[in-house]
Amino acid sequence: MEKHHLKGWLYLLPAFLFLGAFMIYPLADVFVYSFEEGYNSASQTFYGVGTYNYSYVLHDPYFLQALKNTFLLVVITVPLSTGFALLISMALSSVKPLKELFQTIYFLPYVTNTLAVGLVFMILFKKTAYSDGLVNLLINWFGGNSVDFIDGPYWAKMFVLCFYTIWVVMPFKILILTSSLASVNQVYYNAARVDGTSRFRIFRKITLPMISPTVFYLVITGFIGAFKAYSDAVALFGTNLNAAEMNTIVGYIYDMLYGDSGGYPSYASAAAILLFAIVLTITCINLLVSRKHVHYS
Amino acid sequence: MKIVLEHLTKEFPGRGKKNPGKVIAVNDFSFQIPDGKLVGLLGPSGCGKSTTLNLICGLLKPTGGKILFGEDDVTNLPPEHRGVGLVFQNYALYPHLTVLKNITFPLENLRGADKLTKSQMEERALEAARLVQIEALMDRKPGELSGGQQQRVAIARALVKMPKVLLLDEPLSNLDARLRLQTREEIRRIQQQTRITTVFVTHDQDEAMSISDLIVVMKEGVVQQIGKPQEVYDDPVNLFVAKFLGTPPINVFQGTVKNERLSIGGDEIMDVKGVADQEVAVGIRPEGFLLQEDGPLRCDLSRIEVMGRDISLVSTHKCCENPAIRSIIDAESSVDTSAETVRFAIKPHKLFLFQKENGERIRF
């Protein structure tokens, strides 16, 4: 028996070594840095130990802006993208002709190069010397005034960021939901039909509970992904996100490390730990809520 | 509520280039199911019995013919307006709902004047649950129930909306042998108690024979014979029906009729009045054999199987189509186990003649 244990640990050792060196050690290190005041990574020195880093970050207007942006992004994009994905996959599973074609079309954004996507959004939203962008053309068509979506008011920029995020994350959700919907046994729908159940009730009482584990998975990963958003904002608004008021928490952490105002690993660590705490809390809440509404067979 | 099927036909279109031919699952099915009776649709798999059931409940639309419930033509009515209760082969209980919620599910769909309050629904559910004796399980989820209990929940769910017609699709096929016996009695009891016209589909002739008022034997979409179980067993219209009903199955021999005398492999068996000279298929039920020292049919004895009440003699004959002839005789009769041949006399009403080419019955 003892021998078997040893063998088991031996098999796990390579994975442990790698995970330890590249995941657990850095995590622990970040946690330690976040309490070391004025840590300098070059000289490996710091002034003292305490919670000053957290206090600084929590009073930094840039961080608060990033926090607000991230929260808005999460609250808007996760429900909307999941909801739209659900609607589209429901529609996809109910059409018969050209089903494969539609599925391919809806999955295309997932395999499209980020730069190409950025170009598309540029054409849609960016104001240039020659045009105000396609969306503005539409707004003008309906008699509205042009809006500068990239350098203009906060709400316009937030709208573009949310739009972009939803558009980018949806294909994967559609793919997962379509296969999940296909796995629901047709016999339940037949049973419900014989009992005269309305389509809406079938969806709410049968389809949704049956695919609830998938929906829950998408919501959790959606939350985590949105909290870690950064590259989307950079793609739209450039690297100086603080100036554009469009920074995210991860963006703030990056700026603190390497940005123009960078060189503060202690602050970055504190912000990273804060982000971790937020994600952990939200995930725990999700898990609690799911206990009542998610049905595992 | 009587159910009338008039020239009911269902064709499925061919699929793709490989199978362009259409499939006729149900072919010109006409039948009246009398009010309050239990009818068994019986046939091998692929014979169209489940399709017939789906046509009656409305999940499938017929390509021809009519379905009437009482005097009402329901052919084009969607399933929810037909007032049928359907029990699926795998029960189709909603796994995320409790037994109570499963049973009240159809009631919650009622709208307008039929709308029930929550307590009325629970009362009706409890009533249905009592009928199938599962009132102690109301708070469980289907996954926590045994197969037999799930079956009862499914029946309760079908009954709770007081359907005019109850349809059961292979209701016993997912149960073990012992439970199957028990549950079929249960289905019979519930049907007798509620007096709901019931149609059930099965491939198991034993099941159909034991509880049905009427059985309908189907083959490849065509109805072969309709009648009371015993009548169909005692008077099959063709070789298919004769072979399909009865355990152990009927023994089929190659025989010849000459001068109104039937002979099997040279042994003259009996007189068959009015039958023209021809080659025939001879079906003899296992209980149609009588052990007799000077009996006309001589078979090579293989072994004897004792089944308590009866003994089953297993023998072979060169003209028999079955690999072994099974004959059931009284346990009291003494059999010489060392003998190499046994001789049988045949009970005339247990012997049927069929045409060699198409299996149609030849009456005599």
Write down the ipTM of this complex.
0.80
Nearest CA-CA distance, residue B304 and chain A, Å: 47
Q: Indicate if B116 and B42 belong to the same structural domain.
A: yes
Containing structural domain, residue B233? 3-244
List the 170-229 stretch of A: residues with Cβ below 8 A of B: 185, 187-188, 190-198, 201, 205-206, 209-210, 212
d(CA B317, CA B308): 26
Express each pLDDT in A64-112 by its tens digit: 999 999 999 999 999 999 999 999 999 988 887 888 888 888 888 888 8
Rounded to the nearest angstrom, the minimum Cα separation between B224 and chain A is 29
Q: Which residue of B has its CA nearest to A201?
A: B109
Q: Please identify, among B208, B228, B244, the residue that sits at the C-terminal boundary of a domain.
A: B244
Of chain B, the percentage scoring pLDDT greater than 70 comes to: 99
User: pLDDT digits over B205-243, tens only?
Assistant: 888 888 899 999 999 889 999 999 999 999 999 999 999
CA distance B353 to B287: 16
- Residue B276 is given by DSSP the state P
Judge if B146 and B267 occupy the same domain: no
- List chain A residues with CB under 8 Å of B110: 196
pLDDT at residue B139, as a whole number: 92
Do B280 and B238 lie in one domain? The reply is: no
Instruction: Check whether residue B61 and residue B147 sit in a common domain.
Output: yes
Contact B94 A188 (CB under 8 A): yes
Residue B112 has pLDDT above 80, yes or no: no
- Work out the average pLDDT over A167-174: 90
A183-209: per-residue pLDDT in tens? 999 999 999 988 888 889 999 999 999
Instruction: Show which of B215, B244, B273 is a domain's final residue.
Output: B244
Check CB contact under 8 Å for B80 and A201: no
Binary contact (A197, B109; C-beta < 8 A): yes
- pLDDT value at residue B221: 87
- The whole-number pLDDT of residue A244 equals 80
Asked if B263 and B220 sit in the same domain, the reply is no
Distance from CA of A207 to the nearest CA of B (A): 10
- Are B24 and B136 in the same domain? yes
Span B309-319, pLDDT tens digits: 788 889 998 88
Sheet containing B64-69, strands listed edge to edge, beginning at the edge strand earlier in sequence: B23-33, B3-12, B64-69, B72-73
Task: Please give the model's pTM, rounded to 2 decimal places.
Answer: 0.79
Q: Percentage of chain A with pLDDT > 90?
A: 41
Contact A193 B78 (CB under 8 A): yes
Residues of B with CB under 8 A from a CB of A: 57-59, 78-81, 84-86, 88, 90, 92, 94-97, 105-106, 108-110, 143, 157, 161
* CATH value at residue B218: 3.40.50.300
**Mean pLDDT, chain B, integer:** 88
Q: Give the pLDDT score at B361.
A: 93
Least confidently predicted of A6-15, A112-121, B80-89, B104-113: A112-121
Count of CB atoms situated within 10 Å of the CB of B56: 25
Contact flag A297-B80 (C-beta cutoff 8 Å): no
Res A81: pLDDT: 95
A96 in reach of chain B (CB within 8 A): no
Same domain assignment for residues B113 and B211: yes
Q: How far apart are the first and last CA of chain B?
A: 39
User: Residue B113: pLDDT above 80?
Assistant: no
pLDDT for A130-142, tens place per residue?
777 888 888 888 8
Q: A261 pLDDT band (50/70/90 cuts)?
A: low
Is residue A1's pLDDT more than 60? no
Q: What is the SS3 string spanning B84-105?
A: EEEECCCCCCCCCCCHHHHHHH
DSSP A228-274: T--HHHHHHH-S-TTTTT---HHHHHHHHHHSTT---HHHHHHHHHH
Residue of B66, B142, B50 whose CA lies nearest to B103: B142
Q: Give chain B positions within 8 Å (CB) of A213.
A: none
Q: Which fold has domain A52-293?
A: MetI-like fold (1.10.3720)
